[in-house]
Amino acid sequence: MGSRMIKKDQQKQRDLFESERNFRLLVEGVADYALYMLDPTGVVTSWNVGGERIKGYAPNEIIGKNFSCFYTEADRANGKPQRALQIAREQHRYEEEGWRVRKDGTFIWASVVIDPIYEDGNLVGFAKITRDITERREAQLKLEQMHQQLAESQKLDALGQLTGGVAHDFNNLLMVISGSLHILRKAIGDDPRSQRALAAIDGATKRGASLTSHLLTFARRQSVNPQAVDVARHIDAVRGVLDVGVGSAVTLKFDIAADVGPVMVDVAELETALVNLVINARDAMAGSGVITIAAHNDDADGKYVAISVEDTGAGIAPDILSKIFDPFFTTKPIGKGTGLGLSQVHGFAHQAGGTVKVTSEIGRGTRIKIVLPRRETAPTAAEVRIADISGSGTVLLVEDNPDVATVSAGLLEQLGYTVRRVANAEAALREIELDGIDFVFSDIVMPGKMDGLSLARHLRETRPGLPVLLTSGYSDAALNVRGDFPILRKPYEIHELSRAIAKLPR
Ligand SMILES: Nc1ncnc2c1ncn2[C@@H]1O[C@H](COP(=O)(O)OP(=O)(O)OP(=O)(O)O)[C@@H](O)[C@H]1O
Ligand SMILES: [Mg+2]
């Protein structure tokens, strides 16, 4: 009977020993968590492998030291370690995420739990569990950032589709107005009143064309003519305009690196973007200040070119910073700003495969930087050359809109060409069979099975000697052309048409 009691006791002891040993092995062996004990004042009394791995201390380096050494200097100065223990005591638990310092001085983002341990109602210390969640936090932040960027780009895309559609229809109207003007001007002779009226229509049409052009660049639907552009030379070309534009009280400075690389952009778009940025800079400075236009290669291997405009003006408030690229966002009084300047800049940069970056400080100024991919080679002579001659020969005009066709035919005839008109690609092919066509001038977007681009591709196969000039107000098809065929942007004026025809390979 007695021996059975003893045996039972021994068994109990062994079980206890076994379970304690298991527990110790568990605690000591856990590598992903720092599990350790503190005495009531915060001195470390035990340490495990996880603690060593996460915080970098071996047991003999940390046992006996106060756990406050895990906190940042600022947290220590604020009494945070002691407060954590106090909260654990009062609320029976303390939980937090925050920065902690490793032995080598590097920081980790830690998830921390502190539990008070009581024995017979007396506080004997604290159990502390720490986990390194730096990577998780970084992943989370990155995700949030991506979410935000996505939302931003979706918003801009939606606005782009809307504005692109409106601007496209407008362009056809403007084409008719500006083209008809040219014909009227000849007809009315030099009656001054009629001339004035014509000049007013002309001015309004040009303004309309420039507005829709901004909208289209924002919508990234402009049928662009990318060329290899010498950045320094083109900034120089707009210098005069900018100087006059900013007025005499503002100093315009140029900081153009001699070795700045060429970029592949639409020249007109680049110049417009520069003007938009400089005008914004001028408007941000009440009268006087300095505007610096800089251009240099942006990174060590020179893959990018940065063109920036910096001012010493009012700066941009943080709460509106995310809106400044939205079309029609303006803080300027009615009649002063349309809110399309930066939309154009944004569209231009993205279309060219680049980005726009803004840095701004209230009261000190703003810098807007366009970063564009650098083109490998310098512009060729042929790309720079612009011929302007009046022509002869027969052109086949392919255009489905009868008003636009009439206007275009008028312009072509003024330039000296004989015009044959058709309304779609199928009719064009039949007309070409009849021979006598020197080149084809075709709209891209047309009803029917074949659009202008397919027509051009077909002709390149079947009639390689027949030059094709395409035109478009916009279309995603126009972007597909990507330099395969020359494109003339609508609305165009007679000299632009003449130049585009002169550049056709023949
Ligand atoms: N350099 C700058 N300094 C301070 N604020 C600026 C600067 N550039 C732009 N902004 C702010 O961003 C807004 C939008 O600029 P954006 O060029 O798109 O339109 P806008 O200048 O108002 O009108 P628009 O250019 O069509 O005439 C401005 O109204 C202004 O509040
Ligand atoms: Mg502006």
User: Which of the four pLDDT bands, split at 50, 70 and 90, describes residue 40?
Assistant: very high
Q: In angstroms, what is the span from residue 217 Cα to ligand 1's centroid? A: 17
How high is the pLDDT of residue 481? 65
Least confident segment among 110-124, 145-159, 226-240, 480-494 = 145-159
Mutate to test the pocket of ligand 1, among 292, 324, 357, 364 (most ligand atoms within 8 A of CB): 324
**pLDDT tens string 312-331:** 999 999 999 989 998 888 99
- Which residues lie closer than 8 Å to 22 by C-beta, 6 or more apart? none
Which whole-number Å values give the CA distances from 460 to 400, 456, 465, in the listed order?
22, 6, 8
Q: Which pLDDT score, from 0 to 100, does residue 445 have?
A: 84
Please tell me the predicted confidence (pLDDT) of residue 222.
Answer: 53
b/e for 285-298, b at 16 or more Cβ within 10 A? beeebebbbbbbbb
The ligand 1 atom at the shortest distance from the C-alpha of residue 344 is 18
Q: Whose CA is nearest to atom 5 of ligand 1?
A: 316
pLDDT at position 83 over 50: yes
Instruction: Please report which helix (H) or strand (E) contains residue 97, including its range.
Output: strand 94-101
Mean pLDDT of 133-154: 79
State residue 218's pLDDT score. Answer: 67
Q: How confident is the model at residue 398 (pLDDT cuts 50, 70, 90)?
A: very high
Q: Rounded distance, CA 205 to CA 210, Å? A: 9
Which of the given ranges, 69-78, 135-144, 257-266, 350-359, has the highest pLDDT on average?
69-78
User: 321 C-alpha vs ligand 1 centroid, how far in Å?
Assistant: 10
Q: Whose CA is nearest to atom 22 of ligand 1?
A: 330
Q: Which of 332-341, 392-401, 411-420 ranks highest by mean pLDDT?
A: 392-401
Chain segment 412-471, per-residue pLDDT in tens? 888 888 999 999 999 999 999 988 899 999 998 888 889 999 999 999 999 998 999 999
Given a cut of 60, whether residue 476 has pLDDT beyond it is no
- Asked if pLDDT for residue 379 goes beyond 60, the answer is no
Does residue 268 have a pLDDT over 70?
yes
Which residue's CA is the closest to the ligand 1 atom numbered 11?
324
Residue 361 CA to ligand 1 center (angstroms) comes to 15
Mutate to test the pocket of ligand 1, among 330, 343, 366 (most ligand atoms within 8 A of CB): 330
| Closest residue to atom 12 of ligand 1, CA basis | 324
Q: What is the largest CA-CA distance in the chain?
A: 136
From the CA of 285, which ligand is nearest? 1
Q: Which of 438, 440, 419, 413 is nearest to 429 (CA)?
A: 440
Cα(257) to centroid(ligand 2), Å: 26
Residue 93 pLDDT > 60:
yes
Cα 342 to ligand 1 centre (Å): 7
Rounded to the nearest angstrom, the distance between the alpha carbon of 452 and the centre of ligand 2 is 35
The pick from 280, 321, 343 for probing ligand 1's pocket by mutation, whose C-beta has the most ligand atoms within 8 angstroms, reads: 280
Q: Which ligand is nearest to the CA of 310?
A: 1
- Which of the pair, 95 or 407, is modelled with greater confidence? 95
Mean pLDDT of 357-386: 77
Site residues for ligand 1, CB cut-off 6 Å: 276, 280-281, 284, 311, 313-314, 316, 324, 329-332, 337-343, 366
* Mean pLDDT value across residues 229-241: 85
Indicate which atom in ligand 1 lies nearest the CA of residue 326: 18
Two tokens, residue 354: 């680049």
Cα→Cα distances 37→85, 406, 489, Å: 12, 90, 75
d(CA 461, CA 444): 18
Ligand nearest to the CA of 308: 1
For the CA of 339, the closest atom of ligand 1 is: 19
d(CA 190, CA 433): 44
Q: Which atom of ligand 1 is nearest to the CA of 327?
A: 18
Q: Which of 108-112, 162-166, 339-343 has the highest mean pLDDT?
A: 108-112
Query: Which of 35-44, 168-177, 343-352 shows the lowest mean pLDDT across its residues?
Result: 168-177
* Cα 358 to ligand 1 centre (Å): 12
Q: Is 191 left (phi over 0), alpha (psi -120 to 50) or beta?
A: beta
Instruction: Quote the pTM value.
Output: 0.49
The number of the ligand 1 atom at minimal distance from the alpha carbon of 315 is 4
Whether 157 shows a pLDDT value over 80: the answer reads no
CB 54 within 8 A of CB 108: yes
Q: How close is the Cα of 348 to the center of ligand 1, in Å?
A: 16
Average pLDDT value for the chain: 85
> Across the strands, what pairs with 123?
118
Does residue 249 carry a pLDDT above 80? yes
Angle at which helix 341-351 crosses helix 192-219, to 10 degrees, equals: 50
Q: Whose CA is nearest to atom 31 of ligand 1?
A: 331
Task: Name the pLDDT band for 385 (thresholds 50, 70, 90).
Answer: very low
Strands 94-101 and 107-119: antiparallel
- Mean pLDDT over residues 138-153, rounded? 76
Question: Reduced to 3 states, what is the DSSP secondary structure of residue 412?
Answer: helix
